[in-house]
Structure formats: C-alpha cells, structure tokens
Amino acid sequence: MKQDDSQTEDDPMKQSSLSGALIDKPNMVLMNTMFLFLLQQVVLTSGGAVRGHHQPPSHSLALDKAALLQFKRGIMDDPYSTLSNWNDSVDVCRFNGVRCDRTHHHRVSQLILNESQLVGLLSPVLSNLTGLRVLWIVNSHLFGTIPHEFSSLRHLKFLRLDGNNLTGPIPDSFALLSNLKILLLLDNKLSGTLSPAFFSNWSSSLEILDVSDNSFFGEIPVEIGNCINLWSLNLYNNQFTGVLPLSLTNTSLQSLDVENNGFEGELPLLIVGKLQDLAYLHLSYNKMKSQDGNTNLSPFFDALKNCTHLEELELAGMGLGGRLPDSIGQLGENLTTMLLQENNITGSIPPSISNLTLLRTLNLTSNLLNETISDEIGMLPLLEQLFLSHNCFSGPIPNVLGKFLKLGLLDLSHNQFSGGIPERLGNLSELIYLFLNNNQLSGEIPSMIGNWKELHKIDLSYNMLTGKIPSQITGMSEIRIFINFSHNQLEGPLPDELTKLEDVQEMDFSSNNLIGSIPTQITSCIALRLINFSHNSLNGTLPGLLNNLKNLEVFDVSRNNLSGMIPTSLNETRTLTFLNLSFNHFQGMIPTGGVFSTITYTSFLKNPRLCGKVPGIHPCPHKTHLFRSRIFLIIFALVIFVSAFFTTICCVIGIRRIQILISSKRREVVRRKPKAPELIQNFPRITYRELSEATAGFDDQRLVGSGSYGRVYRGVLSDGTAVAVKVLHVQSGNSTKSFNRECQVLKRIRHRNLIRIITACSLPDFKALVLPYMANGSLDSRLYPHSGTGLGSGSSDLNLLQRVNICSDVAEGMAYLHHHSPTRVIHCDLKPSNVLLNDDMTALVSDFGIARLVMTAVGGHAAAIENMGDSTANMLAGSIGYIAPEYGFGSITSTKGDVYSFGILVLEMVTRKRPTDDMFGGGLNLHKWVKSHYHGRVEKVVDSSLLRAAKDQSSEVKKMWEVAIGELIELGLLCTQESPSTRPTMLDAADDLDRLKRYLFGDTTATFASSLGVSSSTLDDD
C-alpha cells in the first residue's frame, strides 16, 4: 500500500513504548507480542477504503485541523511541549502525534499522544476526526467524562485512554463503535456498570478489554459471551460483584485477571475447563471458595488440566480450604508462577508438583500445610522463589532443596523444621535471601555457607544450632543487609573471617555460648550499623579503632567477660545512639564526650572497677601525698590540742543551738522533697517496690517500648489499675532533665487528647512516671504492625474514618498546648510513636521529655520564658524526619515547628510511608514526594490498605473517601511548607479537621483546606 511522506516515518508503535502496555503486570510477553501484532494490523490497514460519502480532501483535512487546534486550546499545561508545532502554519499531517491517510481519504487516521502529561478536558471536539482508526492519549492528566460524541468515530479500531483522571461511566453510545478491537481504560477514576449493549455490538470485533484500576461495580453481563474473539479481559482493582458468567466460555480468552474485586461463589471450574487457551488466570483477593463448602480443591484443579497453555495461576488471599490435589501436577508444562498464599490449605505438597518443570515462583506462605516436603519437589530446575513460611511443616529440611540451582529466595521461617541444615543447600550459588529462623533446627552450621556468594540476608535465629561459626563465612562477602545467628547455642570464638564482610549493615550473634575475643579487624566492616554480641562468654578487650565504624548506631556487648579499658575512640563515633557494656569486667576511667555525654550508668552495670563522671558511677580517686616531716607533726599536734580546748568550751555553749538546728533541718526535710519535681499535691504516692511488683520486677516480657531516655513497662497496680510505667535512665543528665521537664508539663495541662499523669516516683537512682496504660498501643504500632516474616511490615488495619479522627484528636491536643494551655507548650517531638490510642481509639499526645514551656499567662499578658532549671538549648528539637527545616539553620523552637511535625504525621498516615524511608534521599523528602506524585490523584500516593477497603463501598461513599483523602493530603502539604510563616496554626488545622469529620458524617456544607486561605496547588516548589 502506497503512503505519503507522513506515513513513511517511524512506525508509531516504535515511538510509543508499547512493551508492557496491555496489562500492568509482569510476565506478559506472549500477550504483548500478540498485542503488537494486532496493533500493527490496525495501523497498516488504516488506509483502507471507507464506505459512504466523504467531503472533498482539502475540506476534510481542514475540519480535522480545526478540531485538533480547538482541542489544544482546552489544554492548560503542556510540560513536554508535545503540542508545540500545532499551529496554523504547519500541515496538520505533520503535527506531533498525528498521522494522516491522504492516499485514499485525506483524513487524520491516528492520534497518538503517549506520556505527554497534558492537563485539560477530554474534549468532545475530537469526535470530528471521523476518519480516526487509532486514538491513543496515555498517562496524561485529562479529566472529565468520556464524551458520548466519540460514538461518531465509527472507523475507530483502537482506543486507549489509560492513565488519566477520567470519571463517570463508559457512554452507552459506545455500543455504536462496531469496529472497536482494543479498548484500554485502566488507571482512571471511571465508575458505573458495564452495559450489556456494548458486548452485543462489539461481538465480532472486540479482542482486548482492560478497565482495571477504576471503580466499576455490578455484575459482568452475560452478553460478554457474544465477543467470540475476546482474548484478554482485565478487570482487577474494581468493585465487581456476583459470579463470573458462564458465557465467558464462548470467548477466546487467553488472559483473565479479576483480582481485588468482590466476586463470589465457587471457583469457576466450568469456565476454566472450557477455556483451553487460557495462559493467565488471576483470581486473587476475591470472595470465592473451593467446592463442597470450601473443603475440596480437586474439582477446580482437575478442570485446569485442560488449560495446557497456562503460565500464571494466582489464587491468593481468599481463604480457600482443602488439600492440594495430585492433579496440580497436570497444569501444563508452561506454568511459571503459582501464588496460593494466605489461604487455609492443609496437608502436604503433592509429589506430582515435580511435573511443573518451568515453575519459577511458588508461594504457599500463611497456610496450614504440615507433614514433610517430599523429594519430588526437587524436580523444579528453574525455581527462583520458594515461600513456605508460616505453616506447620516438620521433620528435616529436605536435601532435595539443594537442586534448585536458580533459587534466589528461600523462606522456610516460622515452621517446625528440625535436624540440621542440609549440606546440599550449598549448591544454591545464586541465593540472595535465606530465612530459616524460628524453627527447631539443631546441629552445626555447615561449612558450605561459603558458597552463597550473592547473599544479601541470612537469618538463622531462634533455633538450637550448636558448634562453631564456620570460617567459610568469608565466602559470603557480598552480604549487604544483615546476618543474624542469634538465640542459638553456638560456641567457640568469633572467626576472624567476619571482618571480611565489609558491606554488611547488621551483625547479630547474641544469646549464644561464644568465647574468645572480638576480632580487632571488625572495624574494617565500615558499613555496620548494628553490632550485637551480648549474652555470650567473650573475653579480652574491645578493639581500639571503633571510631572507624562511621555508621555505627547500636553497639551491645553486655553480659560477657570482657575487660580492660573502654576505648576512647568510641566518643568519636557520632552516629552511636545505644551503647551497652554492662555485666563485664571493664576497668579504669570511662571516656568523656560523644556518646558518653548522653548515656547513663545502666550502660555500665556490674563493672565495679570502672570510675568516671557518669552519674551513678563512683568518681576516680586522686593521688594523695603524706607529709611526714617533723614540722607537720608538731603543727598537727598543736592544732589537735587547741581544737580540743576550744571544743570543750564550745560544746556546752553550742549544744542547744545544735539541737535547734537539727530540729529546723528535720522540719525543712518534711517541707521539701530533694531532687523531686513539683507535682500536684493530690497525686497518690507510690514506692519503687510497688512499681517493681506491678511490673513483675520490670520483666522484659512486660516491656512495651524503649527510647533514648528510658523504657516503658506494662503493669497492674495493687488496686487493679492498668498502668504504663516509664522508667528513665537517671544516669543521663538529659534523661533527668527530661523527667523534670515532663513533670513540669504534665502537672500544668488537662485535655482529653493529652496524656495525663497518675503519679511519679523519684529517688536518687530511680525516676519513673506512672501513666494510664493504652491497650491499643501507639499510632506507630498500628500503622506498621510487624508481620514477623523479616521482610517488612504488614498492612495497617486503621480505616479512613479512624485516621481522620486520630488526626483531629492530635490537632485538638496540639492546639490546646499552643493556644489554650495556662502555660504555652511547644512539644518538639511530635511523631506516631508519641501518639497513644486508648480503648475507644481516641488519640492522646504523649512524651513531653523535650517540650519547651514558652510563656505563662499572667494577668492576661505574656510573661518571660519560664525557668526550666537545666538548659535545653543544646537538645535536638525532635526526631529525624519530623524536624522542621528551619531548626537545621539554628532557628529557635516555635509552634510552627510543631505544625511541620504534625503535617509530616498527616502525610505519613495517608501514605503509610515513614519520612525516614530509604526511598527519601538526595534532597527528596515525604513532602516533595507526595507533591510530585499527587496532582489530585489520591491513588498515586495513598496507602494500599485504604484502596482495598474503599473497593467494597458504594459510589457515594467512594466519592466521600476521595474527598477526605484529598483534603488530608492538602492539609499535610500546607503544614509542611518550608517557610514557617506560610504554615497554618494548629487552631486552623484542628478546625479544618473538625469540618472534615462533619462532612464524613453527612454535613455536605463543610469546607476544608481552602478555609486556610491557600491550596497546595498554589505552593511554590521547594
């Protein structure tokens, strides 16, 4: 077919980066290849004859040009100048993204604007391009509804509008697009149901339909079975319900992805049994069950045997019950991925799984599997990831696992495996992650661990391993993240080969029976952030050049037999925040400066030969000189004689004065409690013994939290009151100041959203605050519940309304501190771990250890800054990630610094990303990340657990959800502006959140962040 010059340029597919465009999931090579071929046919045939009457060529192109220029006028932002040459002086066929068919019909046939980031309305004017075969506007910011006028594009074969901000339903008039082959509308905000009329008129043409990541609801029409050429149907991340229609068996489906919806009923065995060309089947996270009342998986897997081309099977997170049948081994020789995690599957792994010779990923985590793993599983030569954690497997780890020569991840943690670690695992030369922790493994660590040259993480903790740490550990020279052999029964010395692991960040060999000295060259492991050699029998001295560990944060060698002097080099390690040398035999003077300026005597317990200036440690003695000369003896005797003479005279005269003075001192002691902060008189008294009994002797099992100033224990007083006992490290000057300061603050404030004090206990060597116990823990623990896998944190169970209420509670408490408290208080350390949740999930701001009392109301006027005793000027005003940027330039603490910390907290609750996350570096922070990815599209930044919860809601509730999330993001961005003067006050934030709560409870007249007088969309870039 002959084409003009504009048609002979590079193929539009090459300009559009089509790889992976069909479905936003991995391993879709087959479908992408077929998709490219299909699009090629669409492009090559775009110049074919068009039936019906056509306007003269020049007039037709003129109309097309006018339509495109009018579309451009509706675009508000063109960051990449995609439309820069769209003007009257340029031939319309040479417009960027435009292709014409002038050979036969003189019309625009293709409009392809890929990754153009255009902002504007999807204008109905494009419907004037009636010669279009291909309309492709991808990953921009087009908004509005899909124009029903597009139904006039009767020759359209390919329509792709994914990655925009489009809302509303698919127009019913689309049923008129009888030539449409490919429709991609994924990743928008579309809603509504799928009309049965679509599938009636598209019956002979439609081949690909993808409406994933939207808010469609309702059931799939049975008329979809009319689309006999349909080979890819992607509906994941929507709110579809009902059952999958049996009419799908009339199609040509090769890919069916309906993950994360509300589909019900039994697994669709009748459908899959007839779709013999099915290659991708993704049903995860729906409400389907297995047959026979969720007890029998055999019928479904028997039906899957007919799908001989199956490559991916995903059935995760549905609570499926039953045993894995032997027919699992008949799923075809092409299967590469099988995800069955988070179900209730029982029994063992069938030996027939060995028939799946191309399997690369097998995930059976969090099921009820037991018994042993059969040797037949070793017949999977290409396996790369094997997840079997959190099951009930027992017996020895099979030697056959050593046959997985391609394996990169092996997770057998949290089972009941026993016996030794098989030598055959040394064959896994490509292993990167190994988790064998929390089992009952015994025996020695085999020397073959040196074969794991690519390992990044290894965790063998909480087993019963014995013997020495193999010297072959030096083979793991590429280990980068952590090595954890703690809580075993290992013995012998720490091998010198440990010093060859130069890139490891965490090294934990605690709670073993290790002896010998700490290798001097351990200081060559310059990436180390944590060293824990505690609870062993190590002896000798500490290495002298510990200051070479520039990144060291935690150093724990407590409960060993170490001796000698403490190296002064430790005071040069600026990153060190935790040091524990207790229960050893160190001697001499404790160094000064650096970390030794902040740590307490608890870091040196049971080291009787230590001395120094640390409170609680006896000072070092000075040398005395004895004067033995005769003159000294004469003078000394004379002084004694004279002193005795005058003493005899003065005793009689002064005895009454002494008695009066003693009586006066006793009365003064009654009136004054030395070293105790001033507390409200009606606080109940409590003794150290009562606190010890309440916490079972400050048992570690009662520990609920710890920090730089002390530890918090859960306890029950004699009257049955549940309390949290905050015990401070009194040896640290800063901790003593923290105790006094927290008492000063807590005695002055009373508010429902601020923690209250029950009482305090103050002794020379013990100081504690007694606070109400919060059964729901801290906000940090609810946002980031520990999953126990070693691979990160599980999802949060906090719903949207709870998060809004918590933000409102914190704002109310902070507004009281800043504006209504008798003494204005700057908290200085607002973060999720300092927000506690009581029984009814009311949030209370806590931890006033570094708070500042700014001014006291005296007759309605601001008095001078209150005297807090010890200066706090040199204390860090907050925690990393939450500190206002102006503090880094020496600015004094202010209420606007608390506003910044509050804004970070709000953004963290929406995104569930810590501001200290590794992703934030090189100038990028949480504020900038949210602002650059948000652009009014909450799904780009919002916590995925909120997304999943919203899918089950009605369209009205979903709309309210989007508004609420958007307003929280707006408020967080406003509060975290770089300039303090542009941030709102906490009163403003509290009022705005109160209006947001009223809106969520049905008050549609409420207004939000706009009431603060500014929107994040108007902020200058940081």
Known binding positions for ATP: 726
C-alpha 217/C-alpha 229 separation (Å) is 24
Length of the chain: 1022
C-alpha 205/C-alpha 175 separation (Å) is 12
C-alpha 412/C-alpha 393 separation (Å) is 9
Collapsing DSSP states into helix, strand and coil, what is residue 23? coil
Tell me how crowded residue 651 is: count the other CB atoms within 10 A of its CB. 10
DSSP run (H or E) holding 961: helix 955-975
- What is the per-residue DSSP string for 752-791? TTB----EEEEETTEEEEEEE--TT-BHHHHHS-B-SSSS
C-alpha 135/C-alpha 151 separation (Å) is 13
**Residue 686: phi, psi to the nearest 5?**
-145, 145
C-alpha 755/C-alpha 705 separation (Å) is 16
**829 in catalytic set:** yes
What's the half-sphere exposure (Cβ side, CA atoms, 13 Å) at 558? Answer: 13
CA nearest to 876, candidates 689, 708, 756, 624? 708
Burial of 247 (0-12, 13-18, 19+ CB in 10 A): middle
- Cα 182 vs. chain centroid, distance in angstroms? 37
Tell me how crowded residue 372 is: count the other CB atoms within 10 A of its CB. 14
CA nearest to 564, candidates 601, 610, 529? 610
Tell me how crowded residue 681 is: count the other CB atoms within 10 A of its CB. 5
Instruction: Look at the alpha carbons of 978, 984, 990, 993 in this order and tell me if their dihedral is positive or negative.
Output: negative
- Most distant pair of Cα atoms in the chain: their distance: 138
CA nearest to 986, candidates 834, 813, 821, 859? 813
What DSSP state is assigned to residue 689?
H
What's the half-sphere exposure (Cβ side, CA atoms, 13 Å) at 2? Answer: 2
Residues 6 or more apart in contact with residue 357 via CB below 8 angstroms: 333, 379, 380, 381, 382
Sequence-ordered alpha helix ranges (H) in 615-755: 630-671, 688-694, 733-746
Specify the pairing of strand 506-508 against strand 530-532: parallel
> Contacts for 1007-1011 with beta carbons within 8 Å, 24 or more apart?
1008/967, 1008/970, 1008/971, 1009/967, 1009/970, 1009/971, 1009/974
CA nearest to 497, candidates 477, 517, 467, 526? 477
CA nearest to 864, candidates 856, 874, 872, 852? 856
Sequence-ordered alpha helix ranges (H) in 494-587: none
With tokens 């952030």, the residue in question is 529
Cα–Cα distances in Å, from 335 out to 27, 281, 314, 992? 11, 11, 11, 53
**574 within 8 A of 551, measured Cβ to Cβ:** no
Catalytic residue among 829, 988, 991, 992: 829
Sequence-ordered alpha helix ranges (H) in 53-154: 57-73
**28 within 8 A of 231, measured Cβ to Cβ:** no
Pair of tokens at residue 231: 């080979």
Pair of tokens at residue 684: 């109940």
Catalytic site residues? 829
